[in-house]
Amino acid sequence: MFGFLNVYKPKGKTSHDVVAILRRVTKIKQIGHTGTLDPFAEGVLPVCIGKATRLIEYLKDEKAYIGTVQLGKSTTTYDIEGEVVNESDKTVTIKEIEKALDSFRGDIEQLPPIYSAIKVNGKKLYEYARKGEEVKIEPRRVNISELKVLNFDEKKRQLELYIACSKGTYIRSVANDLGENLGTYGHLIKLVRVQAGDFGVNKSIRLEDLETKEQIEQNLIYPLECLDYSKYELTDYELEKVSHGNPINYNKSQEGTVILTKNNKLVAIGSSKDNTIKCSKVFI
């Protein structure tokens, strides 16, 4: 079994739970996912099965989310699962929100939540938090390419946002920081990932529809459908060379990653330079 699954991770399950379930059903250990979702979050979770795990680095990693922010309160975790630490009665208008959102668009410096899996000095941040230990958190540069208001319930002070962003962006931090920018507080109460690279929520498969090996095989996406690189069809002679990890001639001036195929089947991933393709990963 070789390919990708566009799984809809349900609320309450961890990304590792999803992988464990699929391993149990398929009896395949070589399964991995391409981006962790918090247990309270739901949505698109691309899963790689078999040798497709070796292709994770070649997949697009831009993400898109729909998140609901509760204004007026902040929590320890920046989301609904944490303890409330600050409250404010201040009300804000949609005009004030739109103005505040301007500072979150484009390249920004973002402080990750203390309750996150980022490692500092070999320990995950949430390990420091659980022990009450202080640790210096360095800001990280991320990009938010699109950020817009989908709905604002002024009475409940709940704000629904669409956020398209780079890998490593914490939507929980956006909720917390936005609340502070508005002179009140905020935390995330709902999060749905609607896009992960080429994997969209509209074509995702719910976990309950992947209970048998046959169902998984029926929903497998062949890697060539998701790899957006130049493709090169090998001759029989070139196939023999590639199968032994040897470089081949490439009469094109372009440089970079090239997908090598035979009869439109994935054979290898290579890198072209100086009219030569050197193979980095071979799948035969």
Active site amino acids: 38
The separation between the first and the last C-alpha atoms of the chain, rounded to the nearest angstrom, is: 14
| Alpha carbon distance 212, 222 (integer Å) | 19
b/e sequence 130-147, b meaning 16+ C-beta within 10 Å: eeeeeeeeeeeebbbeeb
State both tokens at 22: 């699929």
Dihedral Cα 48, 22, 197, 284, nearest 10 deg = 10
C-alpha closest to that of 104 among 77, 72, 144, 66: 144
Place of tokens 């996150």: 116
C-alpha closest to that of 257 among 231, 275, 235: 231
| Alpha carbon distance 229, 81 (integer Å) | 41
| Alpha carbon distance 65, 26 (integer Å) | 30
Question: At a CB cut-off of 8 Å and minimum separation 6, what does 82 contact?
Answer: 75, 76, 115, 187
